Each structure stands twice: as structure tokens, then as C-alpha cells.
Structure 1
Amino acid sequence: MSATTHWHLRGDWFDVCSCKLPCPCSFAQAPTHGECLFTLVWHVREGHFGDVDLAGLNVVSLGEFTGNMWIGEPDAKMRLMFYIDDQADDAQREALERIFTGKEGGWPAEFASLIEDLRGIDYAPIIFDIADDLAHWRAEIPGRVDVRIAALTGPTSDPNRRVTTTNAPGAEVGPGQVATWGVVQKDEAVGFDWSHEYRGGSSKHFPFDWRPNDNGHSSARGVPTCDCHA
């Protein structure tokens, strides 16, 4: 596998973080409490690395950072670990590791450039579930991670439509995607040495569509939207 290997990943991403809803990081602002402790989840709907099929596989990251990474603060770097789906065979594991640690370019390389301390990569069964209408999403690694989210709604919003943000200034999956905001119902995650205990306060879903030679610009997967923006 070389840096010239053609790859493409398209799927779903969501986070659970310690910020208040909506997370200011998605608006390229500093975290609510000056720091952000997070769980990130990627589900590959369609994907390949060369002739290696990656469809259906999942990746989870646990980590934290302090400060505003979007404005180039030198100390605003991430400390994190990855869980990679243990359904992946050796070739799939190597492909996912290379992409998510930034060795194969594209938006993941932009993300990886902000990692100060990669604490490790582990392999585990990852359960991913999402409603077609984005009414809820969740991920679970039995005994390690259990994060569950319901779509944000309120007394003046149409319950059949979603609260979204378009053209987010700090989209964690890259430019051009639509954020759908959610309320954290459960947040349990172990395997990373957190600096202190926290409880998730914000979540959002983004579609992602990555290739090695772009920085994340793609049209978003069509989802129910709401005219009121978070």
C-alpha cells in the first residue's frame, strides 16, 4: 500500500463532546469550557482503498484538546486513541489505519495534523445504528463505549424536520456538509486516559465524502432539514 493508492470513503460521522449544545467548535470558536473531551464515530457506507473493500466498517476515537484548533493555536492539539472495527481483516485494518492517521492524504490528513499524541489503536466490535430520517443515532463497543443521541427538537420546531447548520465554519469532516444537531441521551466511553470525568453535552451528525486529493468538499447526503439553524 503506497501513498498513491486511490481510495474513497463515504458515510456517517457523529460526535459526543463535553461542550454545551450546540458545540462552538463547529462554529470555529473555542470550546465551551476551554477544553473539549469527545467521542467521535465514523461509519463507512461505501468505501475502498485500492481493491480493498471498506464498506460497512466503523471507527471510533476517544480524545480531548484545549483551545481553538481552527485558528492555529499552537497548543490546541488533540490527544486521542482509535478503535477500529474488529470485523476488518488485516488488509482492511491497514487501510483504515493509514487513512485515519493521515498517511493517505485528503481530509483525514488535515485532521491527523492536529493530533499531538496518538495514544494507540485497538480493535473491537463496533455496533453502529442510525435512523434513516436522522431521528436518532448511536454507537456501542460492548463494555467500552455506549453513546446514544436523539435529534434535537423543541416547542417551535417541526418534529418531522431536523435542526441543522449549513456551511458550518468548523465542520469536523471538512467543508460543504450539513450538521444535524442532537441531544445526548447516554455517554459512556473507556479506553482513553481522560484528564477528568465529564458528561457529553452536545452531539451532531455530519455525512462525509472523502478522497485522497481533496480537502472534504462534497455535496451532503440529503437529509430532512429545518429552516431554523442552530
Structure 2
Amino acid sequence: MALDATTIPDWTLKGELILNCNCTVFCPCVVSLGKHPPTEGHCQTWGGVRIDQGQHGETDLAGLNVGLMIEIPGMMSRGNWKVALFIDDRATDAQYDALVSIFSGASRGTTGLFKILVSEILGHERQPVTYETEGKTRHITVGRKIQGVVTPVGGKDEDKDLVITNTQYWMGPDITVASAQKGKLRAYGRVWDFDGRSAEICQIDWHGPR
């Protein structure tokens, strides 16, 4: 039986997300909401999520991390995304299932757009996922699949990040402009090296199913 919003548990995720993509400059999808093509005509991106607080029904998700791989053949809004999920290997079976449900869009809410835009889940698997912050720099590793180092782009005031605020971007309204000192992915037949390319940092406050 298909789930509807009355049978999906309430869920929340609060924490931080980073993305690194193949765009040569800051990703145009943030301000165009997917109506402008990526700078290379297609999107290849990896991401990491640090969950500071979260729950899916009675299942606590705090303290876990998630890795993502997303491939989009053209403009973000036209769909046909391919996605792979890397779930923290510390997760219990219940936590694993909850995170797959959230990040596949099955739990609706903030990530529900994945059910519309994603044409194929390439896979989901357990991996050791670490997400660490050193000063302003974020370090993420996903087993041997992803190695990333992301730092905010400098502004005139060195004490303040360069932030695009009040957007309607699905991840969150305030996106910190960043770049990747290291952005390597080896997974599902993809070999990506996005060192020096566009990155984003976003504080997330997601929820569902409504």
C-alpha cells in the first residue's frame, strides 16, 4: 500500500550540508532555482550532511552523517537525476532505513522533491562517513568513495562569510559561497575531481512529511 502523508512519521533534520560540484564558478541553480543550466551544461555533485538534531518518528538520528552523489544531465528543474546515498556505518537498521526514506524523498517534506526529480537511485550503502570542521574549513570522507575539503570564499571583511541570503533554494535560504580544495569521488563508475571548483555550505532545518 502506498504511503500517504497520514502514515509517514513526522521527521526533522537540523545540521549542516556541504556540496561540491563541477561548476567553475558558484552554482547558478541557487538563485535561478534550476532554471539556468550549470556552468558546464550538466551537474555532477557530491555532498555531505552532518545531523546535529533529528528524528524520524521514534528513531533518533542525531550524531549521524550522510554522503550523497548526484548527477543531473541538464537544468536541475528538468529532473532525470541519478542519486547514490552513503549512510553512516554507525547507524542502526532503523536509523539506516529512516535516512534512506528521507533522502530518497519517500518521507516527503523538504526532501520530497527527490520523488519528482530523481529518476534512478543508483544505490544506498553503509560507509564510514566523517564530517569535521577545522576553523572555517569542512573535511568530509566517505570511505574510499569521497574525499572533500571545502572552505568559504573570502570576502572584504575576513571575519564574515560571503553568504547569499533569503533564497528560495530547497536546501535552505542562506547559502555560504565556498570552493573545494579537494573534491574527489570514486563511486558507481564515476571518477570525479572537482578540486578548486564551486562549493556550498548550508545550515539545514528540514522536516516532513508536510
Normalising by structure 2, what TM-score?
0.88
Q: CA offset at residue 138 of structure 1?
A: 2.0
Contact 1:62–1:192, Cα closer than 8 Å, also in 2: no
Residue type of the partner of 2:194? R
Q: CA offset at residue 14 of structure 1?
A: 1.1
1:65 is aligned to 2:80: no
Q: CA offset at residue 193 of structure 1?
A: 2.3
* Aligned equivalent of 1:222: none
Contact 2:71–2:82, Cα closer than 8 Å, also in 1: yes
Question: Aligned match of 2:171 in 170, 173, 195?
Answer: 173
Q: CA offset at residue 17 of structure 1?
A: 0.2
Q: CA offset at residue 139 of structure 1?
A: 0.8
Residue type of the partner of 2:175? A
Q: Counterparts of 2:112 and 2:48 in 1: how far apart (Å)?
A: 17
Q: Counterparts of 2:28 and 2:122 in 1: how far apart (Å)?
A: 26
1:104 is aligned to 2:107: yes
Q: 1:79 to 1:4 in 2, by over 3 A?
A: closer
Q: 1:82 to 1:213 in 2, by over 3 A?
A: closer
* Aligned equivalent of 1:206: 202
Q: What percent of counterpart residues are identical?
A: 26
Q: Counterparts of 1:211 and 1:63 in 2: how far apart (Å)?
A: 21
Q: 1:15 to 1:167 in 2, by over 3 A?
A: same
How many residues in Structure 1 have an aligned counterpart in Structure 2?
201
CA RMSD of aligned residues (A): 1.8
Residue type of the partner of 2:14? R
For residues 52-98 of structure 1, what are the alpha-carbon distances to aligned partners after superposition, in whole Å with 9 as ceiling and x for unaligned?
A: 1100111111121122123xx3xx42112110000000111111111
Structure with the largest fraction of strand: 2
1:27 is aligned to 2:31: yes
1:83 is aligned to 2:78: no
In the TM superposition, 1:121-136 aligns within 5 A as 121-131=124-134, 135-136=136-137
Contact 2:9–2:209, Cα closer than 8 Å, also in 1: no
For residues 127-147 of structure 1, what are the alpha-carbon distances to aligned partners after superposition, in whole Å with 9 as ceiling and x for unaligned?
A: 00125x7x2112112322110
Q: Counterparts of 2:113 and 2:29 in 1: how far apart (Å)?
A: 16
Contact 1:100–1:112, Cα closer than 8 Å, also in 2: no
Detail structure 1 runs of 4+ shifted over 3 Å in the superposition: none
Q: Counterparts of 1:185 and 1:198 in 2: how far apart (Å)?
A: 11
Residue type of the partner of 2:95? Q
Q: 1:205 to 1:141 in 2, by over 3 A?
A: same
